[in-house]
Amino acid sequence: MGEEKKVSRRDYLKYTGAAIGGLVVGGALGYLLKPAEVIEKTATVTIPGVEKTVTVTAPGVEKTVTKTISFTEITTTPIIKPGKISFMNMGGIATDILNEIVADFKKKFPGSDVLLDNVPHAQGHEKYLTLFKGGTPPDVGYFLDIWVPEFAEMDALVALDEFLGPTEWKKVADEFIGNSEDVCLWKGKHYAIPMYYSTRAMLYRKDKLEEVGFKIPNKDEWSYEMLYEAVKAIHKPEVGFYGFGMPLKDPKHTLRVFCQLGWPKGVELLDEKGKPVFNTQEAIDTLEYLVSLKPYSQPGAETYNEGDVYTLLYGGKLGFFVAGGAYTVLYIEKNYPELRPKIDYALPPKGKAGHKILQIADVLVMFNACKNKELAWEFMKYWIDPDWRLKLDQFIGFMPLTYGEASKPFFQTDFWKFWVEIGDKYGKFFPIWPWWPEIQSIIASGIASAWMGEKKPEDAIKYAYDESIKVYEKWIK
């Protein structure tokens, strides 16, 4: 598919063409990260003047053995203390599989339990802030990647390097597709582990394009001009069908669309030091292009989040959404099978910077307030265990997190190879800085003001840049 990133974690062909090799690597990862087996062992303990048979709990024992051991041997055996830990899920993701994980966890660690809670995605950031400031955060939390530096700076999170040393982290990180380790790091420490991974591409109604005689290009050959003409050609508001989907209600959803169209044009949001740098002609051009699509978009975009745009797509009322995910296609296949043959996917338009697409890695974190960190870590490891990962991704429709997982038969289809390849070759994450969530909201506000006709695109970009610089300077003082 054309040009690649200058540096790739692993050549894509290594997993598509060598499934056996991938399984071996995946197996090694599984061995490294496998939740500790806790099996009771009966041992005869000899203490001066006392001989007594006791039951001890230790990881890694495969059978019951009776032997005489010293007191020192018992006291130095690492033991995970049973107890209760709490986990905050978001959006009710994978509730069925989560319940299976909890059941398996309780079996492995008798006497332990996981207290489950859930918060809607839109309320997640505020909920975590409130709980942390109130001194009652969960032990383990489902986070968006962009929140990690902010909470790490507040000393809210555990640096997970105490559980995996540099060598182990390297083994794990080299397996992640799309440099997913990057979103877990802040100031050289790992404050998270990747939980779910996805890439974004363009979803469109190929049947509507065929009806109007539009010649559909190959998946990596769309241009900005082609997209504009295609959206315009199939827009039929008189029958409730809209050419282009635009979400303005949630800042991160707005930025997803802007970046899908702006990154290929050469737009950069923050530099390597986290300073805003989007006061450029490329950013103005992107916003002008985006606003040019408004006449062919759904009315009331300011009331739409990404889920609402998907609802239009599911209802057969939308032609294009440039920031769709693989799971969206699978959801349509499962719930709207008659619609699936009419939907296709492709890379967004290619610009002077080549192909660039958004990749997202939701993550797991542990809060410093956790009283039983060793037990909490054992729970977190389920999300990087190869067998449980596959089960989770198959259930949700998310992409494989590792090359080992991607080599499994389930992912050996043209559909999955496309979505994995674009992340490995062209993927970019949102900036990972403590001030990014605030700057993201400012940029989204500027985009919305141009879309609504309140500001010219160049004025909207200048406004967003000036306000973002203020935020940046406030943080670095």
Q: pLDDT tens digits for 267-318?
A: 999 999 999 999 999 999 999 999 999 999 999 999 999 999 999 999 999 9
- In whole angstroms, what is the distance from residue 315 CA to residue 303 CA? 17
Domain layout of the chain by residue ranges:
13-35+80-198+360-423, 38-75, 200-358+432-476
Evaluate whether 13-35+80-198+360-423 and 200-358+432-476 have a shared fold: yes
Percentage of the chain with pLDDT > 90? 75
As a whole number, mean pLDDT of residues 42-68 equals 39
**Bridging pattern class, strands 193-205 and 343-346:** antiparallel
pLDDT of residue 45: 38
* Other CB atoms within 10 A of residue 317 CB: 16
Mean pLDDT over each residue of the chain, to the nearest integer: 86
As a whole number, mean pLDDT of residues 331-356 equals 96
Q: pLDDT tens digits for 174-203?
A: 888 888 889 999 999 999 999 999 999 999
Q: Is CATH 3.40.190.10 the right assignment for the domain spanning 13-35+80-198+360-423? A: yes
Whose CA is closest to 324, among 355, 370, 357?
Answer: 357
SS3 155: coil
Q: pLDDT tens digits for 147-156?
A: 999 999 999 9
DSSP secondary structure of 110-142: TT-EEEEEEE-GGGHHHHHHHHHHTT---SEEE
Q: pLDDT tens digits for 451-465?
A: 999 999 999 999 999
Banded pLDDT at 39 (limits 50, 70, 90): very low
Helix (H) / strand (E) element for 53: namely strand 50-59
Backbone angles phi, psi at 359, to 5 degrees: -120, 145
Q: pLDDT tens digits for 380-416?
A: 999 988 899 999 998 888 899 889 999 999 999 999 9
As a whole number, mean pLDDT of residues 104-113 equals 96
SS3 408: coil
Q: Which residue has the higher pLDDT, 53 or 265?
A: 265
SS3 102: helix
Res 55 pLDDT > 50: no
Q: Which residue has the higher pLDDT, 12 or 349?
A: 349
Banded pLDDT at 169 (limits 50, 70, 90): confident
Res 143 pLDDT > 70: yes
The counts of H helices and E strands in the chain are 19, 14
Cβ-Cβ contacts under 8 Å for 323 (sequence gap 6 or more) = 200, 253, 256, 257, 260, 306, 358
Residue 366 burial by Cβ neighbours in a 10 Å radius (0-12, 13-18, 19+): buried
What is the CATH number assigned to the segment(s) 200-358+432-476? 3.40.190.10
pTM of the model as a whole: 0.83
- In whole angstroms, what is the distance from residue 227 CA to residue 207 CA? 15
